[in-house]
Chains A and B, each alone.
Chain A
Amino acid sequence: MTATLTRIRQRDWRRLSRHQLFWPLLILAALLLFNLPFTPNFFSIGVRNGHLYGSLVSILYFGTVPILVALGMTLVIATGGIDLSVGAVMAISGAIACRLISHATDQNSVSLVFTAMALALLAALAAGLFNGLMVARAGVQPIVATLILMVAGRGIAQLITSGFILTELSRPYAVVGGYAAAVPTGLFIVVGFVAITAVLTRRTALGLLVESVGGNAEASRLAGVRAQRIKLMVYVFCALCAGVAGLWNSSSLGGADANNAGLWIELDAILAVVIGGTPLTGGRFSIGGTVVGALILQTLKTTIFTIGIPAQANMVFEAVVVIVICLLQSTDFRRRVGRLVRLPRPPRQRQAPPGELADAGHGPAIASVSQESVEATS
């Protein structure tokens, strides 16, 4: 009786632990719980000055930029590319918006704010188009193509701000990076973008085509997929996400700092994508994974702050935790550790041995048999 129960539980456990989001979510939960001894009211959410207040709220609040940028990055990485220019694009978009607003006579004009934001996003789209054309049409390697704008883009942003830190005092613009109906506006933006991305990729065929281009670009082209167009689209989308993140960032700061806006965000975004389970080699991607990945990183930053790690040790501590997270995500590593301490077994490959699958001629038939029988027994 108990034997059967444990067997059922084992099977459920294995199915659960095989889910794409299992490890990212587990890590996120562990990180959140880790805060409890240091900050007893970590999970409480209150209202102060008419907005929501609490550690979780602040994680979500500051998570806006990383989640948005990582979202666009996910699709780029899924096509086998990478976009290093997101930080620079953030700076450009923030600089344009702040310049237009700060030079206006009536900073509180709603139409002015909308115009400024529209122009900023247009500039972001142009940057994305440049990246996309370089990669898809000119055939420049993504890392090189986007490196151009990563460096030049920040220069452009400085030209726009004339080298100063531009401050603006617009009340309507402050809403973007502030609160709407007690809830951080960034949360609405993020939820909206995540929903749009999910619908765009999973309700249309875009996701399949992106994954097929990332999985095998030449095979996709020969199957009639417009691989160039798909690549162009993802870079434009990625730049749009970065542009919106730039608006949020400048609005929440009340100004544009061309030097520091979105600095190193590309690395956080790439890390979030990878932690979320999308391989850097392209192919399969997970939007939910990316969101959780970005939240993990943001929670980690908050944790470092709340448990009082000395400022000079911040970077090292963060690096160590990220390494541990990456190791935990590695099936191979978990298998080795699992062998040592007999912890929850990592998901087993359904097919028997990995070598068998790589073999062109003979093995897969065996693997297929094993798959059938796995299904027969379950």
Chain B
Amino acid sequence: MAEDSPVLQMTGISKQFPAVRALSGVDFRLFPGEVHALLGENGAGKSTLIKVLTGVYELDEGTVELDGSPVRVTSPHHAQQLGISTVYQEVNLCPNLTVAENIFLGRERTTGPVVRWRRTRREAAALVAGFGLDIDVSAQLGSYPLAIQQLVAIVRAVDLNRVDGAAGTKVLILDEPTSSLDQDEVEVLFGVIRRLKSAGVAVLFVSHFLDQIYRVCDRMTVLRNGRMVGEHLVANLDRVGLVRLMLGRELRQLEELREHERAGSGEVVLRAAGLGRRGSIAPFDLDIGAGEVVGLAGLLGSGRTELARLVFGADQADSGELTVAGETVSHRGGPQATIARGVAFCPENRRAEGLIPELTVRENVMLAMQAARGWVRPVPRETADRLVAKYIAALDIRPADPEAKAGSLSGGNQQKVLLARWILTSPKLLVLDEPTRGIDVGAKAEIQKLVVSLADDGVSVLYISAELDEVLRLSDSIGVLRDRTLVAKLANGPDVTADQIMHTIASGAQP
């Protein structure tokens, strides 16, 4: 493979933005039929490099060669014509159209002005089947889970170039394709990637999940601060070496994270008895003690988020009883009722349900406290400034500018803004749904440390994560969900392993 000539060769790429040099002299190459990981912390330049490659940005210096001949990619459309297709983290398709319509959007199969629907559907079905997927192409895309939508996006991207006898996709860029997929779905995606690989497509894979990179990638390029710091065969670089390369320093934070000691106090902060909601999650019992971290494990769609939303009152329960700090909470009370009793909630989907992107960091941080006080009693500006400055410093939110638009922050910093918003209200129970998803290793460790220190201060935490290791490391007890049912509750200890939890998820029985 390495003996072949690269399908893509980028040499000495530099990109200067008005105040920052995003890329300086980066070399990058891709061989046909390989899966190549592009790695680096947030802000290392991965995005910029991809955007230069796909024609979103113009490069300042350097050359791009495709199949040995220099090219100048002028626009994303041009990139597609050249055989460079991209699938982004967020699915950029139309959920209200059918799968077939989405695949052929913008290049419908037509005779004159008439769209040939039957042919469209037939071809779409063939394409989808070719990827080993079993889905109905005449169903609305939105009726499928996110994972399938992601795969449809890949089918579309790869097929884009087969029109009019063009050469077909040479380079497929997958930007964080797995961040919203569960284990099974990742497997299906990997199947598709391997298929593409054997068809000679060069796949550029960006992911935060190191496990996945070691499973599916052949080679990796690491960026740091806009510079290329290494290109290695995956087989030749172990994880510790990789993390060291990415961070440029010894990563001790993750390992040093103290195993949280079980809080002995018997006080129950939250008790759910037979709490449930039809079509969302089966009735469950759950007790959370003061200072206890309860982790929720289970596959995507197993009911983790649904459980958290019921506990917070984001959705209305239709059975059972919820008690917070000894008081029964009405099902009709909504979030205000639980917030008033000291429950806080950082939702899974930060952008859609957490942040108000166009408001400033200060306004976002103050929002929950202000909402609790009501509009007539504004928090005085000096108090707000002082509090916000304190939490920006304490959580290391960057940029440390309270007047920055929250939507312009990176994922990790947005999460910190949400955490600050709730910590400000001194909650008794913090419900965190996937707080570390899609954020870089450093911020991840900081957030995990924060959870531990909050629990040490007596704050209870309900912690949801798709990463079992994370749940195991942080939780005092672990609730396992399967098929929208809380199937097991385990006390965490040295003898509880990821294998055991996976077994519980698979079998659904108490071990």
| Contacts from A to B (Cβ < 8 Å) | 203-206, 208-209, 211-212, 215-216, 218-226, 230, 283-284, 348, 351-353, 355-357, 359-375, 377
A353 to B22, CA, bound (A): 11
A-B contact pairs, 11 of them (CB 8 A): A220-B356, A221-B335, A222-B335, A224-B372, A283-B356, A361-B176, A362-B44, A363-B43, A365-B410, A369-B399, A373-B20
Q: Which of A204, A222, A365, A369 contacts B378 (CB 8 A)?
A: A204
Interface core residue of A204, A225, A359, A363 (most chain B CB under 10 Å): A359
Query: Which B residues touch A351, using CB under 8 A?
Result: 408
Nearest CB of A to B13, in Å: 15
A351 to B378, CA, bound (A): 31
B379 close to chain A: CB less than 8 A: yes
Q: Which of B367, B376, B410 contacts A220 (CB 8 A)?
A: B367
Nearest CB of B to A95, in Å: 33
A367 to B22, CA, bound (A): 10
**In contact, A205 and B373 (Cβ under 8 angstroms):** yes
| Contacts from B to A (Cβ < 8 Å) | 17-20, 22, 42-48, 51, 56-57, 89-90, 175-176, 208, 312, 314, 334-336, 339, 345, 347, 351-359, 363, 366-368, 370-379, 398-399, 401, 404, 407-411, 413, 421, 438-439
Nearest CB of A to B384, in Å: 10
A216-B357, A363-B48 are contacts. A223–B371 as well, Cβ < 8 Å?
yes
- When C-beta atoms are compared, the residue in chain B nearest to A375 turns out to be B401
A360 to B413, CA, bound (A): 11
Q: Which of B19, B356, B374 contacts A352 (CB 8 A)?
A: B19
- When C-beta atoms are compared, the residue in chain B nearest to A221 turns out to be B335
A373 to B354, CA, bound (A): 28
Q: Which of A208, A348, A363, A375 contacts B367 (CB 8 A)?
A: A208
A374 to B408, CA, bound (A): 15
- When C-beta atoms are compared, the residue in chain A nearest to B366 turns out to be A208
- When C-beta atoms are compared, the residue in chain B nearest to A279 turns out to be B358
Query: Which A residues touch B367, using CB under 8 A?
Result: 208, 212, 220, 223, 225
Query: Which B residues touch A283, using CB under 8 A?
Result: 356, 358-359
**In contact, A218 and B352 (Cβ under 8 angstroms):** yes
Nearest CB of A to B392, in Å: 12
A359-B47, A371-B404 are contacts. A364–B371 as well, Cβ < 8 Å?
no
Given contacts A224-B336, A226-B371, A369-B43, 6 further A-B contacts (CB under 8 A): A204-B376, A205-B370, A216-B357, A218-B352, A355-B51, A360-B438
**In contact, B353 and A205 (Cβ under 8 angstroms):** no
Q: Is the interface of A mostly helix, strand, loop or mixed?
A: helix
Query: Which A residues touch B378, using CB under 8 A?
Result: 203-205, 208
Query: Which B residues touch A375, using CB under 8 A?
Result: 401
**In contact, A208 and B363 (Cβ under 8 angstroms):** yes
Nearest CB of B to A347, in Å: 13
**In contact, A224 and B358 (Cβ under 8 angstroms):** no
Nearest CB of B to A178, in Å: 36
Interface core residue of B367, B377, B439 (most chain A CB under 10 Å): B367
**In contact, A216 and B89 (Cβ under 8 angstroms):** no
Q: Which of A203, A362, A370 contacts B19 (CB 8 A)?
A: A370
**In contact, A370 and B20 (Cβ under 8 angstroms):** yes
Query: Which A residues touch B18, using CB under 8 A?
Result: 348, 352, 370, 374
A216-B356, A352-B17, A368-B404 are contacts. A224–B335 as well, Cβ < 8 Å?
yes
**In contact, A360 and B89 (Cβ under 8 angstroms):** yes
A368 to B443, CA, bound (A): 15
Nearest CB of A to B341, in Å: 11
A204 to B17, CA, bound (A): 39
A224 to B379, CA, bound (A): 16
- When C-beta atoms are compared, the residue in chain A nearest to B410 turns out to be A364
Query: Which B residues touch A365, using CB under 8 A?
Result: 42-43, 398, 410
